[in-house]
Amino acid sequence: MKKSNLILLSQKFKVPGIVSDYTTCSEYKLYAVRSCDSSEDTCEKSNAGKFDSFLFVEQANLKDTVDMVLKKADNYFIQEMVINPNFSAVVFKDKNTTTVNVNNGLCEPITAGHVTGTVYLFKEDSIFKKYGVQLKTLIYEDNELKLINDTEPEFNKEHIIELNKLAGEIMEYMGMESVDLEISYKDGIFYILQCRPWNSKR
């Protein structure tokens, strides 16, 4: 479901390129190798964190990385990386509220539980802000990932309004009653990295 959701979204929204065959990947790009197990991201349960994904993989290392992902998952897909985005966010939306957890740089510090990020709640056209406990940024520099201490994300009211609208459009387009999104923002563009039903059974 993870891969098929992104392919469907790519027909209308901005989704980083998805590659079906690692032998066709460019030596000049960096990739994410993500699990795509048949039990992931269903309406009943997401199974988040049970499978492996790897970031900033060079072409020469793709085959070995795919083999590592397949040790736990029954399938995989490869996606082009968004290099050092301005900020990333995890967005949860249903018909009543939108919750945005935002962090500078990549999304992984939030999804991996390294940081709380900065949390915003959008409800009935009002925005409530709750500061995160930790603020860190994951960047790619000198051919390695670095987790650094950081300040508040460069994220404003207009971004929240736009994310709320985007999440609503995705809900309607995908025919979902709620969504759990991972999004990166770079140079004025929101890139959809993940889309699945939002449920409490993680």
> Domain extents for the chain?
2-80, 87-196
Split at pLDDT 50, 70, 90, the class of 45 is low
Least confident of 10-19, 73-82, 136-145, 161-170: 136-145
- Return the CATH fold of 87-196: D-amino Acid Aminotransferase; Chain A, domain 1 (3.30.470)
**Quick one: how far is CA 192 from the chain centroid?**
7
- CA-CA distance, 51 to 34, in Å (whole number)? 9
- CA-CA distance, 4 to 195, in Å (whole number)? 10
For 156, counting Cβ atoms within 10 Å of its Cβ (0-12 exposed, 13-18 middle, 19+ buried), the class is exposed
- Mean pLDDT for 24-38 is 89
- Mean pLDDT for 169-192 is 94
Record the tokens describing residue 156, joined without a space.
Answer: 């404003």
